[in-house]
Amino acid sequence: MDLLLDTHTLIWFFNADEQLSTTAKNLVEEPTNKCFVSIASIWEMGIKTSLNKLEMRGSLTQVAEFMTENAIELLPITFDHVQQLTALPFYHRDPFDRIIIAQAHVENLVLVTKDLIFTQYAASTAWD
């Protein structure tokens, strides 16, 4: 299965946070699954850490190393993703989440997220 980790999913996996569901953790750790993280998530994490609105157990450099160690690939934002974004209804106003939803649609990825609003976009999600 090809997965796109929502920002909180990556943070909780990186921090070994108990808020990460067992299902989500198992999906990410399953070696036959291919995991991606949007560059938008890294951007969001960078903004929030610089504003002291996010605490992590390490730096963004350590997050990058952790992603490599766990075979989590970075997904760039492409023109097709932005075009898909412009077609999305405004159920969700968060620009980071909107681009992640668009990327999941274009790339046919299952979103690993606790955010139930993602399902309003007919996105395939996994959590519990």
Domain count within the chain: 1
Structure pTM?
A: 0.96
Residue 28 and residue 36 in contact, taking contact as beta carbons nearer than 8 Å:
no
- In the block, which residue shows the tokens 């990186």? 14
pLDDT of residue 92: 85
Torsion angle (degrees, nearest 10) of CA 14, 66, 37, 122: -40
pLDDT at 18: 96
Chunked in runs of 10, what are the mean pLDDT values of the chain (128 residues)?
98 97 98 98 97 94 98 98 96 94 98 94 93
The boundaries of the domain holding residue 109 are 2-126
Q: What CATH number is associated with residue 65?
A: 3.40.50.1010
Task: Give 111's Cβ-side CA count (13 Å radius).
Answer: 28
